[in-house]
């Protein structure tokens, strides 16, 4: 077995909740139940801003079925409000990975395959304007280094804020900032460091100011940033050192042969570093200067020693303090999903290290085949946490989503 590269577009299991679809007035819209009584005006127009998790990215790909499993779609269904989204036709844009070991994608597609938008999803007002790959700069910027084909296909030349305002929202959810740390963490800071806290705060405040100044009385919920050192695409180097069976599986993932040793540097002993799944493609590369071993020095790519782990954790904590303050200032609810992730890890639902022998569930039931985007089950858990925070803040009585 030799794992092919699982492309991480710089863009994060099928749900048991059945959602019906209908196409009308040239828009793809979820058919929702009766709206909550007594709080109808709160959710008269709901819009979700964010990045790939909000958009419905799973296993390195996106299409209309994964988009319908987003927590944003589930929330709209629970409150019984309109939910038009930019549906991508099967097999996706790009198609999700369906086999972790081979890297095969839905419909035989590739990382560059794009089936484009479903014409029935074209509408002037979207209720999900999230764009895979977006960082905190993007909701207010039509042009940024994070721009990609999906940016144009979803937003049509506008910013997320502009597209959100087209729907005249009464309630918004915003989950932005994960990509400000995820890319640097997965590369071991080889391709940049996390967005500075001051810059993050200024950009976040600009987004909030544009929304709240245009929509007086706007309500909503802000999500904190995930501490990405906890995603299973980063696993302990100690596993490679202490477990010969796992090391052989890692060897096979890189070279195709469990007996062909991939060197692990001596500085990894006792380093308690995290290894990025992206190191596999780097070790396979023939580009001059590519790594030839797993190295745990502070300057080494594709690993996070304890110094870099601390930088990530401290940065995320500072981001979340700013977001929490912004929520208080705007009168919004706030949610930090990191305690939820910690609980799931403690229960063994998030794998401590990849299972390189599994084709379909290498990271457990909560994360999909790219190691950092949530599964349909995880999206249900996220929306239930979101619903609890909204009910507490606004005195609503939204029902949670049933899940296994």
| Backbone phi and psi for residue 223, each to the nearest 5 degrees, phi listed first | -95, 140
Q: Where are the alpha helices (DSSP H) in 41-135?
A: 52-55, 64-67, 71-79
- For the segment 136-191, what is each residue's pLDDT rounded down to a tens digit? 999 999 888 888 899 999 999 999 999 999 999 999 999 999 999 999 999 999 99
| Rounded (10°) angle between helices 376-394 and 71-79 | 50
For the chain, domain boundaries: 21-232+319-394, 234-304
Q: Please say whether the structural domain 21-232+319-394 has been given the CATH code 3.40.50.1110.
A: yes
- For the segment 364-382, what is each residue's pLDDT rounded down to a tens digit? 999 999 999 999 999 999 9
By DSSP bridging, strand 27-30 and strand 21-24 are: antiparallel
- For the segment 31-43, what is each residue's pLDDT rounded down to a tens digit? 454 455 445 689 9
Q: Are 116 and 94 in contact (CB under 8 A)?
A: no
Residue 254 three-state SS: helix
């Amino acid at each position: 077995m030799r794992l092919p590269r699982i492309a991480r577009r710089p863009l994060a299991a099928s749900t048991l909740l059945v959602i019906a679809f209908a196409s009308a007035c040239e828009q793809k819209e979820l058919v929702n139940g009766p709206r909550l009584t007594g709080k109808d005006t709160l959710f008269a127009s709901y819009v979700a801003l964010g990045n790939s998790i909000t958009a419905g990215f799973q296993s390195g790909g996106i299409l209309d079925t994964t988009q319908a499993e987003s927590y944003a779609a589930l929330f709209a269904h629970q409150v019984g409000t309109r939910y038009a989204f930019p549906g991508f036709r099967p097999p996706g844009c790009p198609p999700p990975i369906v086999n972790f070991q081979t890297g095969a994608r839905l419909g035989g597609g590739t990382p560059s395959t794009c089936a484009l938008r479903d014409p029935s999803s074209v509408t002037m007002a979207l209720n999900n304007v999230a764009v895979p790959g977006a960082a905190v700069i993007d909701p207010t910027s039509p042009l940024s280094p994070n721009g990609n084909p999906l940016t144009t296909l979803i937003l049509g030349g506008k910013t997320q804020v502009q597209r959100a305002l087209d729907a005249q929202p009464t309630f918004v959810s915003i989950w932005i900032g994960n990509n400000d740390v995820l890319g640097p963490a997965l590369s071991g800071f080889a391709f940049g460091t996390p967005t500075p806290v001051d810059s993050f705060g200024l950009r976040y405040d600009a987004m909030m100011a544009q929304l709240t100044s245009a929509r007086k009385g706007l309500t909503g919920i802000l999500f904190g940033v995930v501490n990405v050192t906890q995603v299973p695409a980063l696993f302990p180097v100690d596993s490679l050192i202490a477990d010969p069976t796992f090391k052989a599986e890692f060897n096979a993932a890189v070279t195709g042969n469990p007996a062909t040793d991939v060197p692990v540097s001596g500085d990894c002993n006792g380093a308690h570093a995290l290894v990025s799944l992206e190191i596999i493609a780097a070790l396979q590369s023939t580009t001059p200067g590519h790594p030839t071993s797993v190295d745990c020095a502070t300057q080494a790519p594709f690993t996070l020693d304890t110094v870099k782990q601390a930088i990530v954790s401290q940065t995320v904590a500072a981001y979340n303090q700013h977001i929490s303050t912004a929520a208080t200032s705007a009168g919004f609810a706030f949610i930090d999903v990191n305690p939820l992730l910690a609980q799931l890890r403690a229960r063994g639902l998030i794998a401590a290290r990849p299972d390189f022998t599994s084709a379909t569930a290498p990271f457990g039931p909560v994360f999909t085949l790219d190691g950092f985007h949530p599964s349909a089950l995880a999206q249900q858990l996220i929306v239930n946490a979101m619903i609890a925070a909204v009910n507490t803040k606004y005195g609503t009585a939204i029902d949670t989503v049933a899940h296994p």
